[in-house]
Structure 1
Amino acid sequence: MVLVALTFFGLMVLGMPVGMVMGVAGLVGILDMGGGTFIRMVPDRMFAGLDLFPFLAMPFFILAGEIMNKSGITTNLVKFADALVGWMRGGMAHSNMLASVMFAGITGAATADAAAFGNTLVPAMEKQGYTRRFACAVTAAGSIIGPTIPPSTLAVIYGSLMGVSIAGLFAAGILPGLLICVVCMLLIAVFGTRWKLPKGQKRPSLLGIFKAFRSSLLALILPVFILGSILGGIATPTEAASIALAYALFIGGVIYKALTWPDLYAMMLRTARITGVIFLIIAAASILGWWMTFNQIPQTIATGFLSISSNPQVIIGLILALLLFIGLFMDINATLIILAPVLAPLTLKIGMDPVHAGIMIILALNISLMTPPVGACLFVLASVTKEKVENITKALWPFLLAEVAVLLLIAYWPDLTLAIPRMLGL
């Protein structure tokens, strides 16, 4: 165990990609167990780790989001959000948050949200008088709504690996995602004067709101269609994702006429790269996971947690602290794949509902997307806007604290998370 830990953290420090780190560490563990006898199982374990039908939903959702973004949907969603809340003090900041909710139902990816709004909303906010660091901070805070509100790739991964209903996880993610938006908007409203945020334009007429709604209607239909088909039992997540891709192609290519063959090739290439990285992590983690299971490490960790306290509230706090700490240094997909098999049985022992536990874990990891030193959304925004990561982080801390408060509320109030799944019989 010590040898595997040293290998894992040593390679991480040296900067090796996390998928390779897990694969090499797992291989070292297997060699230490039995050498050539067990090493023959490595290819089988890697394939078995990926041989799950719901995983096909990920590339479909990612590509659909790429197409909708390229088609100019982002601009229409922002205009509609601005028509609803842009007239308030800090109006563009409010619009950013609300647009993140709308965009979340299309992509389900925080980095896609950060890149799209980093290119469009951050410059627009600067023109209205916001500082670039504050505009980036608002965008980063809103970006984690993407992988919380369905469709969420993290929910697909967690549900597939742990045997938890993906439809249930999708339904359970709706209220937490909306709550993040509401809390951040309240923060902007309360501190708008102190932060000297610009006042928005005059309140638009109902006709203006209707026109903005009409221009974004084709985009707003997509998340409703995805959720309706999955939660209604009409389609599986994978089937809904493939239909969403067909819809995105039709809207982008036929209605908006905004797609070319070179565009499609570039988007498919990006999708393949993103999916390939995730699948490499999953395949490599299956080796490490098998070694951990063989050596009963999850049971050992669970016993260690329970030896500290048998109080479920304390155990939940320890789980959240572990996730937020590990999330500072590791990719969230890798963290989820490694820790979910360890933490899920522990949550069952303390009586947590599997769907509630899944959303709690996913939200904790989503928050790590905007925490240095490896927060992916921070680096995406820094790359797109040319703002320094440390400057974004300084402006981000009030939103970070607010979202941690939401995480605690979600963790300790299960009825809030499970309200919609229960209502839908999930």
Structure 2
Amino acid sequence: MTTSPTVPNKTGWLTWLDENAEKPFLCIGLLAIILIITFQTAYRYLIVNFSDTASAAVWTEELSRFIFIWISYLAVPLAIKNRENIRVNVLYDKFSPKWQSIFWVVNDLCFFFLSVYVTCLGVHMIGEGMRYPQMAPAMQIPYYIPYSIIPLGFALISFRLLQDIFLEVKTCGIKGLVTAIFVTAIIVAPAYIMWYLPDFQAFENFEPSATIVLFSYFLLVIAIGVPIGIGLGLASLLTILATGTIDLGYIAQISFTSIDSFPIMAIPFFVAAGIFMGAGGLSSRLLALADEMLGALPGGMAIASVATCMFFAAISGSGPATVAAIGSLTIPAMIERGYNKYFACAIVAAGGAIGVMIPPSNPFVIYGIASQTSIGDLFLAGIIPGILTGLVLMGYSFWYSKKNGWMGEKKTRTFGTFVKAIWDAKLALMVPVIVLGGIYSGLMTPTEAAAVAAFYGLIVGMFVYKGLNKDNIIPTMLEICSTSAIIIILMAMAKVFGQIMTVEEIPAQIASYILGLTSSKIIILLLFNVFLLFIGTFMEALAAIVILVPILLPIATKVGIDPTHFGIIMVVNLAIGFITPPVGVNLFVASGVAKVKLDDISKQIWPILALMIVVLLLVTYIPSISMFVIR
């Protein structure tokens, strides 16, 4: 007896569409921009430079920017569905489970309020664009076509938020939903009250301070767990409603133009290069090489773990990615060889912090864009602080392991085995050569080098190491898009926040206040370090950079601190934040890998933190440590 094939019913198709609506566009879009920029780079140097008749492919950069913006905003709904975002959970974690559920709905409602507003503003912007069309210079298409991602993307974000609210209501109940709506109304209401107050004669001269409204709202919403990027956008929207400091339509426009930037595209490419190479089987080969070189020493596996983190840092540009990729291999290996498991987690978490110092580095890319500083110079200047940090961690591992009797693994190590380990890792070791060699030879911009590295990582991972395959390639690409989108929306919303600060002259006022207290460069550097170390205890590095650079950089330049040197100080500070309780994200990743409590790892991290602060002070007060390579 035969059976006919099952035809999906209407509900089945809807379920499939709900689960997969964004995924095909994200995978195709990511692959497209990697291929387009790789083609652009190859075309320029292999065809244009060797042909008198060929012309530059000027359309490639514009098309790739537009696709990049589209997939960035289409990935945000996926991040919402997967509940991935950058948020401050210090206060949120102290709530009872019931109130955590209620405030999760509050956070979704706050985001929903912002996304609906931006959707409506985006529709109006597209209407204006259709009435008064402007053409993209290279592709000669009306700008309203690429700009349409703003209403479309934020409408889809609104839909995913409603889904998330519906799911959470199953936990908090209808009473919890009503409470959440009431709390959200209390948050939003003051902005509308201030908006309408001047209409009454008794308050016609009422002028609320945009500075107070902006920072009050921002601190309030991030304290209750609203994602930082959304907190920036929501605080900006409510401040504009309350004070009219800038035009409301600016939010929709800047949501597109702030990330319509070729340098910003380096971020998803570097993320892609690291994830492709990590998933593709790179980590085990780098570890084998490091173990071959250093494994015979006391604490050999710990030292090799730090060395592997340094190698991987030259590929991933991310601290947590480094801990995840290397820790999953080295932490179990150290525990098996008799190391204290909490020390194993702590040293790998600290080694992962090097991931944002040694280039490529996403924080350096964002700092360079925010400060208009050369990303290439930042990359070069970050090498020595990263290596110095690694050497200090290796020295501590050697001393602490020898003290505890954790000796190196005894096995045959010869010149032949060393050469074999290098040969096995040769393709992995080529990535820093591609990135840094391409940039400093003048052959490629940082964005082009990142795209070529991502393409290289994809090819090597699929066809050589074969760690990337049909089972994990789609989840890997979605992870890249989701991770990048969280950073990109943070930058877009920070631009609106920064514009209000500029109009209100907030950075200039803060600079005048601090310089009024002291003009000593030494003291100001010390204040910067204390402040940034404090910020790093509860705020993610990328968020801190986009918020603080417009405020702190003017002060730094006025006392004679080079912007590149200040970028190094800032990133090293915030790298330490990756391992600083209570919100050290590297500690969370390490504890997840080893399945141990964060409190137990934290007890092991304090001496390591002290050593990294010593490195920070050296980098801060001896600029030549980092700056001599670019002078």
- Give the alignment's TM-score, normalised by structure 2: 0.65
SS of 1:58 mapped into structure 2: helix
- Does the alignment pair 1:17 with 2:227? yes
Q: Give the C-alpha shift of residue 202 in structure 1.
A: 4.9
**Kept in 2: contact 1:229–1:240 (CA 8 A):** yes
Work out the CA distance in 2 between the residues paired with 1:100 and 1:258.
19
**Kept in 2: contact 1:31–1:38 (CA 8 A):** no
**Kept in 1: contact 2:382–2:568 (CA 8 A):** yes
From the CA coordinates, give the structure whose radius of gyration is larger. Answer: 2
Of 216, 228, 238, the match for 1:6? 216
Work out the CA distance in 2 between the residues paired with 1:94 and 1:344.
36
- Does the alignment pair 1:34 with 2:239? no
Q: Give the C-alpha shift of residue 335 in structure 1.
A: 0.7
Work out the CA distance in 2 between the residues paired with 1:345 and 1:261.
50
**Kept in 1: contact 2:303–2:397 (CA 8 A):** yes
Q: Give the C-alpha shift of residue 339 in structure 1.
A: 0.2
Moved more, 165-174 or 190-199: 190-199
SS of 2:466 mapped into structure 1: coil
Q: Give the C-alpha shift of residue 128 in structure 1.
A: 0.2
Work out the CA distance in 2 between the residues paired with 1:184 and 1:219.
23
Work out the CA distance in 2 between the residues paired with 1:79 and 1:9.
46
Of 262, 265, 273, the match for 1:53? 262
Of 175, 179, 182, the match for 2:384? 175
**Kept in 2: contact 1:19–1:281 (CA 8 A):** yes
Work out the CA distance in 2 between the residues paired with 1:258 and 1:328.
35
Matches within 5 A, 1:235-314: 235-314=444-523
Change (3 A) 1:202 1:307: farther
Of 285, 290, 299, the match for 1:81? 290
Identity of matched residues, %: 38
Q: Give the C-alpha shift of residue 353 in structure 1.
A: 1.4
**Kept in 1: contact 2:269–2:454 (CA 8 A):** yes
- Between 1 and 2, higher relative CO (CA 8 Å, sep ≥ 6) is seen in 1
Partner of 2:281: 72
- Does the alignment pair 1:408 with 2:617? yes
**Kept in 1: contact 2:281–2:466 (CA 8 A):** no
SS of 1:310 mapped into structure 2: coil
Of 417, 432, 442, the match for 1:208? 417
- Does the alignment pair 1:62 with 2:271? yes
Matches within 5 A, 1:313-328: 313-328=522-537
Partner of 1:366: 575
SS of 1:150 mapped into structure 2: coil
**Matched AA of 1:333:** L
**Kept in 2: contact 1:129–1:198 (CA 8 A):** no
Q: Deviations over 1:277-331 (max 9, x none)?
A: 0011111111111111111111111112212211101001111111111111112
Matches within 5 A, 1:73-112: 73-112=282-321
**Kept in 1: contact 2:309–2:323 (CA 8 A):** no
SS of 2:425 mapped into structure 1: helix
**Kept in 1: contact 2:282–2:465 (CA 8 A):** no
Unmatched runs of 5 consecutive residues or more in structure 2: 1-210
Work out the CA distance in 1 between the residues paired with 2:600 and 2:540.
22
**Kept in 1: contact 2:461–2:468 (CA 8 A):** yes
**Matched AA of 1:27:** L
Q: Give the C-alpha shift of residue 360 in structure 1.
A: 0.9
The CA RMSD measured in Å over matched residues stands at: 1.4
Work out the CA distance in 2 between the residues paired with 1:191 and 1:28.
53
**Matched AA of 1:328:** T
**Matched AA of 1:162:** S
**Kept in 1: contact 2:335–2:344 (CA 8 A):** yes
- Does the alignment pair 1:118 with 2:118? no
Partner of 1:378: 587
Work out the CA distance in 2 between the residues paired with 1:258 and 1:90.
29
**Kept in 2: contact 1:52–1:160 (CA 8 A):** no
**Kept in 2: contact 1:171–1:231 (CA 8 A):** no
Work out the CA distance in 1 between the residues paired with 2:336 and 2:261.
47
Q: Give the C-alpha shift of residue 238 in structure 1.
A: 0.6
Work out the CA distance in 1 between the residues paired with 2:257 and 2:466.
41
- Does the alignment pair 1:330 with 2:567? no
- Does the alignment pair 1:395 with 2:612? no
Work out the CA distance in 1 between the residues paired with 2:561 and 2:354.
23
**Kept in 2: contact 1:360–1:411 (CA 8 A):** yes
Matches within 5 A, 1:143-162: 143-162=352-371
**Matched AA of 1:336:** I
SS of 1:204 mapped into structure 2: coil
Work out the CA distance in 1 between the residues paired with 2:376 and 2:506.
30
Moved more, 18-27 or 78-87: 18-27
Q: Give the C-alpha shift of residue 118 in structure 1.
A: 2.2
**Matched AA of 1:59:** P
Partner of 2:374: 165
- Does the alignment pair 1:184 with 2:388? no
Work out the CA distance in 2 between the residues paired with 1:243 and 1:260.
20
Partner of 2:146: none
**Kept in 2: contact 1:140–1:370 (CA 8 A):** yes
Work out the CA distance in 2 between the residues paired with 1:204 and 1:343.
51
Q: Give the C-alpha shift of residue 51 in structure 1.
A: 2.3
Moved more, 123-132 or 262-271: 262-271
- Does the alignment pair 1:339 with 2:548? yes
**Matched AA of 1:13:** A
Work out the CA distance in 2 between the residues paired with 1:290 and 1:421.
32
Q: Give the C-alpha shift of residue 257 in structure 1.
A: 2.9
Moved more, 192-201 or 267-276: 192-201
Work out the CA distance in 1 between the residues paired with 2:385 and 2:327.
23
**Matched AA of 1:385:** A
SS of 2:402 mapped into structure 1: coil
Q: Deviations over 1:79-120 (max 9, x none)?
A: 100011110001101000111111111111111111112211
Moved more, 222-231 or 197-206: 197-206
Q: Give the C-alpha shift of residue 6 in structure 1.
A: 2.4
Q: Deviations over 1:40-84 (max 9, x none)?
A: 211123323212211111111111111111121100100100011
